[in-house]
Structure 1
Amino acid sequence: MSATPQRRRVGRRLIAGVAAVAAATGVMTAAVPAGADSGARQAGHGHGKHGRTVDVQLLSFNDLHGNLEPPDGSSGQVTEERPDGTTTQVDAGGAEYLASSLRSARKGEKYSVTAAAGDMIGASPLLSGLFHDEPTIEALNKLDLDVTGVGNHEFDEGRAELERMQKGGCHPEDGCFEKDEKGRDKTFEGADFPYLAANVTDEKTGKPILKPYTVWKHKGVKIGFIGVTLEGTPDIVSAEGVKGLEFHDEIETVDKYAEELDRKGVKSIVALIHEGGAPASPSYNYDCDSPGPGDGISGPITDIAKGITPKVDALVTGHTHEAYACTVPDPKGQPRTVTSASSFGKLYTDTTLTYDRKTKDIVRTSVKSANHVVSREQEKAPDITALIERWNELAAPIANEAVGHIAGDIPGRGATTPESPLGDLIADAQLEHAKSLDEKAELALMNPGGIRADLVHKASGSEGDGVVTYGEAFTVQPFSNTVNLVDLTGEQLVTALQQQVSGPNEESPKILQVSDGLTYTLDLTKSGADRVVADSIELNGEAIDPAKTYRVAMNSFLAGGGDGFEALGEGANPLVGGDDLQALNDYLKANSSADQPIDPPKADRITVVD
């Protein structure tokens, strides 16, 4: 979902604004007893010059999405299971705390490498997104990240922008955002760590657009890292973002480069895969190897893990924003660690890789892994605090502008139901914008993946309860899609609703958020397309007529058939409207005030049977 148009416009506004301003810890283990820690890692294996094995600490995380500041509401919490079986929510995350956690974890470790599994940038809050994610890359450099694979969101602004993140240079249109001590443009330096994109190739040359792998070396120890994103990236990113690129099978690609590394004498290999799974419990300390290895996890990563060559010793994964540290059997039936550290920097994974100096391989039976909470009760990293303050000063002229008022929390990303209150609000805002362009507009549809946060009644650092700032709204909708209008027949509309739970979305449904007036029943006791009860679909109390034409609003991502909604991509008589974030802000301004804030929508348009 490309974010380029809005960020360009905001960037120019930002430059003018800046010119005016210038005149601890929780644990989940896999395949090891509870309580395994770095102290245990240091003992029992020869760390001296003549020891055959050494323990390498692999610290990893995923799906940071530019969340430098602690995320608000449920987006900034992890679920923890207590000894008595009850659960509690723990506040977590924020780059200042992530830096402290990683630095503390590295203390006393002679061999430590830090890796990530994609989506470090993209869909970012305003503090990072406003500056094309330069602040996040700078923060990751300070966190001493050694390597990351690409995720789908690394392509939100296209290949050229991803390459700029790697190599540096000022933005081609917005220019340089900072000045040096002499008032000259300060050039963005890019990532100190390699971005890996083994399965992303130029469609003309067939070559990877970035390095496919890298080899970490320390005191004679060599570990290869291969980075891939999910093959289905083009289905969830705007067409412009992946123009000229091809995305290949994850298993085939990892196997190819694992073989190449093996031929070069690199026997210890970790795959960084931006694809994930779903654990049976939302608790980060859930044992997903109970009753047996990998029994508590499902989803795409399980088949990938079972298919990737045994030459790969561990998989660091992401994309689903879930927390797990499991063992999934490789093609030879041997246990192999598969991990994911939730999202937004709320967790990090500490994995012990026992390296055999003689074979140059990992002793697989000795691999241990645990997820740890990035607690907000620890000290903040001062250098990251300074970085955040510096960029916040630049963003302040825009970020703090009030755009509306709400009477309570409006869950979006953090909603626990298929229909979210914030999804309803956004759909209503898009319909109102669409009606200003074409009075025939009748309904609006919003993809759930485009809602990146909640609107929180009292957000962190807010001056007053209920105030929605531009920065908070930006965090909810950072992609800068346009609000488009198309004609759909009733038959196409019904098909689109059925595509929420069928085809590529059958295993992981993507429930569209709907504007006021559209109602239907979602029966989760059924399977496939039948889960959408066709004869229950009504618009303003009238059954959908298959032969009738309806004027439907949606963002440009959906209008292009994104997220597997092919029927929406078949719309006729398209009309491109304004920016979706502006549509939301206009709706909030027109329909709320300090005296009359917007009440959270009831989210009762879709009747769910489960």
Structure 2
Amino acid sequence: MTRILAALLPLAIAACATPQASAPAPQTVTVGIVAINDFHGNLEPPKMAVPVPDGSGGTTYVPAGGAAWLASAIDMVAARHRYSTVVSAGDLISASPLASSLFLDEPTVGAMNRIGLEFNAVGNHEFDRGREELLRMQAGGCEAHTQRRPCAVEEFAGADFAFLSASTYTGDGSSLFPATGTKTFETPAGQIKLGFIGLTLESTPLLVSPEGIAGLTFGDEAEAINRAVPVLESEGADAIVVLIHQGAEQGENPDPNDCEGLSGALLEILGRLDPGVDVVVSGHTHQAYVCDYGTIDPARPLLLTSAGSYGRLVTDIALTIDPAADQVVAARAENVIVQSPGYATSRGETPATDAFARFEPRADIAAYVARYVDAAAEYAKRPVGRIGGGALRMWGEGPNTGGRLGLLIADAQLAATRDAGAQVAFMNTGGIRADLEPTADGRLTFGQIYAVQPFGNTLVTRTFSGAQLETLLEQGLAMADPKFLVPSQGFAYRYDLSRPAGERLVSMTLDGKPVDPQATYRVTMNSFLAQGGDGYAVFTDGTDAVTGGLDLEALEAWLDGEAPRPVPSAPRITAN
């Protein structure tokens, strides 16, 4: 009774009292930023899980992803905030599964238009089909810049969201896309303006085909950010958010809401940032983390996030802003798992779990995706052959040396170029985009092998000396994050990363014999590597080049036959 009277008493007083001045306007406003990165056109659930600690020393694997489920998760997170915006930190498109890649990623842009994306930083993979095709992604239209026909399903209107590229410069020194963007909210506390800076990583030329970025330069990321900060401040930005396609790693920690043992190329950039930056939304490494960076560098108390990859996570960022002071007074973030239906592979089942929220697919996005999946079905379902078991990209938890699948691809490319004199073929591990999971009797479809190699590279065979091959392998081993070229059958090499850079190759053999530095060898690679991609400059030095067919055609031909193609089982790259 006392509690009821206490609740009613203010109402009675208010009814009898003379009018009073209205309550003062709130002093702060909380704004939500809904962030993703590295979506890579995964319109359908990618059959990949999000690993999270189970609280008992183990790990729970949660099935996640798919554009329709992602849309529902984004809607849920956005609904937590009265004011919100949706952003991406790059690699939204390319290296995509068939339903998106076959149609030049037009459906991914269409899906993101419907989801409500507002800003996307340009990632390295946005340049995979070249500068002009990327500009078409923004502006729309049906002009062809690749071998594939644009607008195959519908007229392409382009992105409703803005691509941002503060550190990508054209010949006259201007940025390819706008360096910054703003989002303004009218609130009872006054106008709130968020300023966004978007940029790709400086090493993009090492990751894409040089001919596709001719005339462009990629500058220092920190310098570009620091130039943009005062511009946004002069425009009245209350908070500054960086969307950068560069990232960090957590090591062995699977918690997507932690940043224990953080390392990686992004940290050097963060250490040079203007203290005016409030949030950094990152990508590229496909790792998930949330970090109060002020605990690492008190001079830069920013919030650092990444939502992993393939639309399996959404980052819910909340900024509490004092508009009178034009500053952020509090910030928090959480990675939300986009749980979708369970799935099964040759490695077993990954069921859905009640330990995390389950999302229903958003109907309009599901219908839109289905339109493109159906259009791709004729290609996707075509049988292409059989293999004798699953072919995965990784060997356990060790360095990424391409797994059994990398060996299978290298063997296919060697076989396809024997007529050009090829003695060995090398495959880059970054070009292997999915595992091969056959049916119980080993059958594979075109859609499956397309997901493995979606770039449309041609095969190139050139002559190199044995000394050049040594330099080539040393180039990869000397990198901060060592890269390994996967060799075809007959070629093997050993390495020792404890040795100084340039001396890490222990041995290399062809058909059981040491490679002779003075002898010459015919070597096959894909056209990305042939242009010096992934930092392998020596590939451009080969002579007597012969250009062959597509890498995907080579794999399909290798799989064609009555009997299942055996999957290589013994590693050809070994640590000393």
TM over 0.5: yes
Residue in 1 that maps onto 2:344: none
The reply on whether 1:146 has 2:112 as its aligned counterpart is: no
Aligned with 1:499: secondary structure? helix
The one-letter code sitting in structure 2 at the alignment partner of 1:206 is: G
Aligned with 2:132: secondary structure? helix
* Mapping of residues 217-366 of structure 1, within 5 Å: 217-219=184-186, 220-285=191-256, 287-289=258-260, 296-329=261-294, 333-363=299-329, 366=330
The one-letter code sitting in structure 2 at the alignment partner of 1:600 is: V
1:327 CA drift (Å): 2.5
The one-letter code sitting in structure 2 at the alignment partner of 1:143 is: I
The reply on whether 1:512 has 2:482 as its aligned counterpart is: no
Inter-CA distance 207–68: structure 2 relative to 1 (3 Å threshold): same
Instruction: Give 1:600's match in structure 2, choosing from 545, 559, 567.
Output: 567
Residue in 1 that maps onto 2:426: 445
Aligned with 2:560: secondary structure? helix
Contact 2:244–2:281, Cα closer than 8 Å, also in 1: yes
Instruction: Give 2:164's match in structure 1, choosing from 189, 196, 200.
Output: 196
Deviation readout 1:209-260 (Å, 9 max, x if unpaired): 2111110111121000010000111111001211111111100101111111
The one-letter code sitting in structure 2 at the alignment partner of 1:193 is: F
Residue in 2 that maps onto 1:587: 558
Aligned with 1:311: secondary structure? coil
2-side partners of 1:210 and 1:107: how far apart? 30
2-side partners of 1:598 and 1:426: how far apart? 12
Aligned length: 527
Contact 1:280–1:288, Cα closer than 8 Å, also in 2: no
Q: What TM-score do you get using the length of structure 1 for normalisation? A: 0.83
Residue in 1 that maps onto 2:536: 565
2-side partners of 1:279 and 1:316: how far apart? 16
1-side partners of 2:334 and 2:266: how far apart? 18
2-side partners of 1:427 and 1:87: how far apart? 34
1:527 CA drift (Å): 4.5
Instruction: Give 2:336's match in structure 1, choosing from 340, 349, 372.
Output: 372
The reply on whether 1:523 has 2:496 as its aligned counterpart is: yes
1-side partners of 2:396 and 2:127: how far apart? 26
2-side partners of 1:62 and 1:216: how far apart? 19
Contact 2:257–2:334, Cα closer than 8 Å, also in 1: no
Q: Which moved more, 1:373-382 or 1:489-498?
A: 373-382
Residue in 2 that maps onto 1:399: 380
Inter-CA distance 495–310: structure 2 relative to 1 (3 Å threshold): same
1:118 CA drift (Å): 0.3
Q: What TM-score do you get using the length of structure 2 for normalisation? A: 0.88
Identity of aligned residues (%): 42
Deviation readout 1:515-550 (Å, 9 max, x if unpaired): 0111121224444333321xx211110001000000
1:175 CA drift (Å): 4.4
Contact 2:67–2:311, Cα closer than 8 Å, also in 1: yes
2-side partners of 1:585 and 1:334: how far apart? 51
1:332 CA drift (Å): 6.3
Q: What residue ranges of structure 1 are gaps of 5+ in the alignment?
A: 1-47, 179-185, 290-295, 459-463
2-side partners of 1:164 and 1:242: how far apart? 15
1-side partners of 2:45 and 2:285: how far apart? 20
1-side partners of 2:164 and 2:498: how far apart? 41
Contact 2:167–2:199, Cα closer than 8 Å, also in 1: yes
The reply on whether 1:70 has 2:45 as its aligned counterpart is: yes
Residue in 1 that maps onto 2:137: 165
1:90 CA drift (Å): 2.1
1:267 CA drift (Å): 3.5
2-side partners of 1:563 and 1:491: how far apart? 20
Aligned with 1:195: secondary structure? strand
Contact 1:488–1:550, Cα closer than 8 Å, also in 2: yes
Residue in 1 that maps onto 2:363: 382
Deviation readout 1:401-432 (Å, 9 max, x if unpaired): 11121232211279644331110001000000
Residue in 2 that maps onto 1:500: 476
The reply on whether 1:575 has 2:542 as its aligned counterpart is: no
The reply on whether 1:548 has 2:513 as its aligned counterpart is: no
Contact 1:307–1:331, Cα closer than 8 Å, also in 2: no
Contact 1:251–1:304, Cα closer than 8 Å, also in 2: yes
Query: What root-mean-square deviation, in Å, do the aligned CA atoms of Structure 1 and Structure 2 show?
Result: 1.8
Instruction: Give 1:80's match in structure 2, choosing from 32, 46, 52.
Output: 52
Contact 2:321–2:328, Cα closer than 8 Å, also in 1: yes
Instruction: Give 2:100's match in structure 1, choosing from 128, 150, 164.
Output: 128
2-side partners of 1:67 and 1:287: how far apart? 25
Residue in 2 that maps onto 1:33: none
Give the greater-gyration-radius structure (CA): 2
Contact 2:241–2:279, Cα closer than 8 Å, also in 1: yes
Deviation readout 1:433-463 (Å, 9 max, x if unpaired): 110x32x3110101111111111124xxxxx
The reply on whether 1:421 has 2:404 as its aligned counterpart is: yes
* Mapping of residues 21-40 of structure 1, within 5 Å: none
Inter-CA distance 152–413: structure 2 relative to 1 (3 Å threshold): farther
1:334 CA drift (Å): 3.5
2-side partners of 1:108 and 1:524: how far apart? 48
Residue in 2 that maps onto 1:293: none
2-side partners of 1:567 and 1:356: how far apart? 54
Aligned with 1:272: secondary structure? strand
Contact 1:80–1:284, Cα closer than 8 Å, also in 2: yes
Residue in 2 that maps onto 1:480: 456
Contact 1:81–1:285, Cα closer than 8 Å, also in 2: no
The one-letter code sitting in structure 1 at the alignment partner of 2:453 is: Q
Inter-CA distance 80–108: structure 2 relative to 1 (3 Å threshold): closer
Aligned with 2:525: secondary structure? strand
Deviation readout 1:316-361 (Å, 9 max, x if unpaired): 0001111111122487623211111111011111111111111122
Contact 1:306–1:328, Cα closer than 8 Å, also in 2: no
Aligned with 1:429: secondary structure? helix
Aligned with 1:190: secondary structure? coil
The one-letter code sitting in structure 1 at the alignment partner of 2:306 is: S
Aligned with 2:212: secondary structure? coil
| Higher RCO, Cα 8 Å, sep 6+ | 1
1:495 CA drift (Å): 1.0
Contact 2:167–2:220, Cα closer than 8 Å, also in 1: yes
The one-letter code sitting in structure 1 at the alignment partner of 2:412 is: A
The one-letter code sitting in structure 1 at the alignment partner of 2:282 is: T
Inter-CA distance 253–334: structure 2 relative to 1 (3 Å threshold): closer
Residue in 1 that maps onto 2:9: none
The one-letter code sitting in structure 2 at the alignment partner of 1:367 is: A
Residue in 2 that maps onto 1:50: 25
Residue in 1 that maps onto 2:350: none
Instruction: Give 1:210's match in structure 2, choosing from 177, 191, 198.
Output: 177
2-side partners of 1:383 and 1:600: how far apart? 41
2-side partners of 1:465 and 1:303: how far apart? 49
1:107 CA drift (Å): 2.0
Inter-CA distance 217–414: structure 2 relative to 1 (3 Å threshold): farther
